[in-house]
Structure 1
Amino acid sequence: MSHHVVLGLFLTAAALSAPAAASEWGCEVLLCASSSNPSWRGVSACHPPMNRLISAMKKPGFDWPTCPEAGTGSPGHERYADCPEGYQVGSRGDRNGFAREGDLCVKTVNICQGRTHGLYSSDRQRSCIQTVSISRPLRSEPYYFDIRNDTSGQTERHWFGLNR
């Protein structure tokens, strides 16, 4: 049974339970957010609950609508994508000296490799080692739900974005 069928059953159960309104909306959000092919933007039935969510997030005191029947709670959020191969996550300091949350990708390179000018002094060799950095890429879909597949027992991560 696909997770969409399972979530569909959760939606039905949510509609029949007592605190239906909030729970039903939370289950609709979960179902739509976990839709990957097409994403929720390609499913017309997902536009009302997701647009309602996007509007609600702008208001003070926002609480993510949850779907207790699915056991997922609020989604996770990772602003940055993985660094390219060979780079590690680093941080740029702000004006107050505090490091920002992993906003750079950095690697150490030897800029003198391949040059053959005889022997180097140890000072010269040290000056060959430099750290290069690039801005860490942002995720287009920074939110995720980890949904347990009851059939396989595996947890699958479903990424989604909230830009319309």
Structure 2
Amino acid sequence: MRQLLYAATGLAAVTLLPSTTMAQDASWGCQVLLCAASSNPSWHGVPYCVPPMKKLISAMAKPGFSWPICHEAKAGKPGREVYEQCPEGTKVGYSERGREGNRTEPDKCAKTVNVCRATGNNDNDGNDGFTYRRRTGGRDGESCIQEVSTPRPRRADPWYFDIPSDKGVKQRFWFNLNT
């Protein structure tokens, strides 16, 4: 609850609402923003936050949904990033191509390696999560240089708000909408 009070104080600093306004008197958009910014505990553990967030989740399932905005905070709509960044030395990869050759979700982390020099017997080389195959050379028309991949980690909290301070510096607050 203390974190929610800190978030409320920070949000109040960047809003035009009078300091005597209570959080429950805020617009639905500001309630959602305030609750989404709550961490330790997340909005799930703050009794005040459960009703406006469940209302949001319910509204999102309906046609014509429009995200409630807290205009006073100048945060706009949230962003969403389902996947974590790939580890250093790897790049974003795609599992397969969809219809008409379009790429599907960026759900892999890939790197280019020389599999002819990789060690191990069909196990991971260096325990880094990438699968290597032992080869004695580039036989049968296969190249020793190949791209290997591992599943890209998913974020526990894929939604975020970038909330500007009174000096215009944005701070990112991650949250989830799991019930």
8 A contact 1:11–1:27 mirrored in 2: no
Q: What CA RMSD, in Å, does the superposition of the two structures yield over aligned residues? A: 2.9
Structure 1 residue corresponding to 2:172, chosen from 146, 157, 160: 157
| Aligned residue number for residue 108 of structure 1 | 112
| Aligned residue number for residue 89 of structure 1 | 92
For the residue of structure 1 that corresponds to 2:66, the secondary structure is coil
TM-score in terms of structure 1 length: 0.78
8 A contact 1:11–1:28 mirrored in 2: no
Could you tell me which amino acid in structure 2 is paired with residue 150 of structure 1?
D
- The CA deviation at 1:137 is 2.1
8 A contact 1:11–1:24 mirrored in 2: no
How high is the sequence identity, in percent, across the aligned residues? Answer: 53
1:84 and 1:60 map into 2 onto residues whose CA distance is 38
Deviation digits for residues 68-116 of structure 1, max 9, x if unmatched?
000011101112211123210022312532111422211111122267x
Moved more, 50-59 or 126-135: 126-135
2:110 and 2:99 map into 1 onto residues whose CA distance is 20
1:51–1:11 CA distance, 2 compared to 1 (3 A): farther
Question: What are the within-5 Å matches in structure 2 for residues 8-157 of structure 1?
Answer: 8=12, 10=15, 12-13=17-18, 24-91=27-94, 92-113=96-117, 127-150=143-166, 153-157=168-172
Unaligned regions of 5+ residues in structure 2, if any?
1-5, 120-135
Deviation digits for residues 2-23 of structure 1, max 9, x if unmatched?
543032464955x97xxxx9x7
| Aligned residue number for residue 7 of structure 1 | 11
Counting matched residue pairs gives 151
TM-score in terms of structure 2 length: 0.72
Unaligned regions of 5+ residues in structure 1, if any?
none
Could you tell me which amino acid in structure 2 is paired with residue 93 of structure 1?
R
